[in-house]
């Protein structure tokens, strides 16, 4: 996500899915971590249909607030969105993604997206939620061109996710 309009789309989808459909209180849905995260907005044509938030930790990324509008909830859409997010995370050099999910969604994450239950982790109980969350983990393989300290410096100035495209601000050196 690179525009304030896209952030509004992410908020709108989460409001529909979590606040309206699941009766999650707004103060729990919008917890302040939005300002330190990467947000993925999924589109059907030019219509925003889904979103997920990625938070970054020392040696893993965490998927949170994954939501799709009702008419677009299917394994094809989920898999396409997740594959995009997995590629983004791996390109940044991370080899592990975790998420937390209620039982029926945890099953979906395991079957469709290849997550496994995190070993040695107890379920998490959250206020206002009707069942515990299970921690899941997925191993990734960063590509050879993963962003690292040895990446060409000019790439580090480029827009998040558009590392292969020179920005309009790069000087042309002859």
Q: pLDDT digit string (tens) for 1-18?
A: 578 999 999 999 999 999
Angstrom distance (rounded) from CA 15 to CA 40: 15
Q: pLDDT digit string (tens) for 132-164?
A: 999 999 999 999 999 999 999 899 888 888 999
pTM above 0.75, yes or no: yes
The answer to whether domain 4-148 has CATH 3.40.630.30 is yes
Confidence check: pLDDT of 171 > 80: no
Say what percent of the chain tops pLDDT 90. 75
pLDDT at 10: 96
Paired with 51 in beta bridges are 41, 67
Pull the structure tokens for residue 78: 């989920």
Confidence check: pLDDT of 173 > 80: no
Burial track 25-61 (b if 16+ CB lie within 10 A, e otherwise): eeeebeeeebeebbbbbbeeeeebbbbbbbbeeeebb
Burial track 145-158 (b if 16+ CB lie within 10 A, e otherwise): ebbeeeeeeeeeeb
Angstrom distance (rounded) from CA 71 to CA 74: 8
SS3 string, 117-143, reads: ECCCCCCECCCCCCCCEEEEEEECCCC
Domain ranges of the chain: 4-148
Angstrom distance (rounded) from CA 50 to CA 66: 8
Q: pLDDT digit string (tens) for 97-132?
A: 999 999 989 999 999 999 999 999 999 998 777 899
């Amino acid at each position: 996500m690179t525009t304030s309009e896209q952030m509004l789309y992410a908020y709108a989808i989460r409001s529909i899915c979590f606040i309206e459909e699941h009766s999650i209180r707004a103060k729990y849905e919008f917890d302040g971590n939005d300002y330190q995260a990467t947000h993925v907005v999924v589109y059907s044509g030019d219509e925003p249909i889904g979103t997920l938030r990625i938070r970054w930790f020392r040696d893993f990324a965490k998927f949170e607030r994954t939501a799709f509008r009702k008419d677009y909830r299917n394994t094809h859409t989920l898999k396409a969105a997740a594959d995009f997010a997995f590629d983004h995370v791996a390109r940044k050099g991370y080899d592990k993604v975790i998420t937390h999910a209620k039982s029926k969604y945890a099953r979906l994450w395991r079957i469709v997206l290849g997550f496994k239950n995190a070993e040695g982790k107890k379920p998490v109980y959250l206020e206002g939620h009707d069942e515990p969350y299970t921690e899941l983990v997925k191993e990734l393989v960063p590509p050879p061109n993963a962003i690292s300290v040895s990446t060409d410096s000019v790439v580090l100035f480029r827009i998040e996710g558009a590392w292969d495209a020179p920005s309009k601000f790069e000087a042309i050196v002859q």
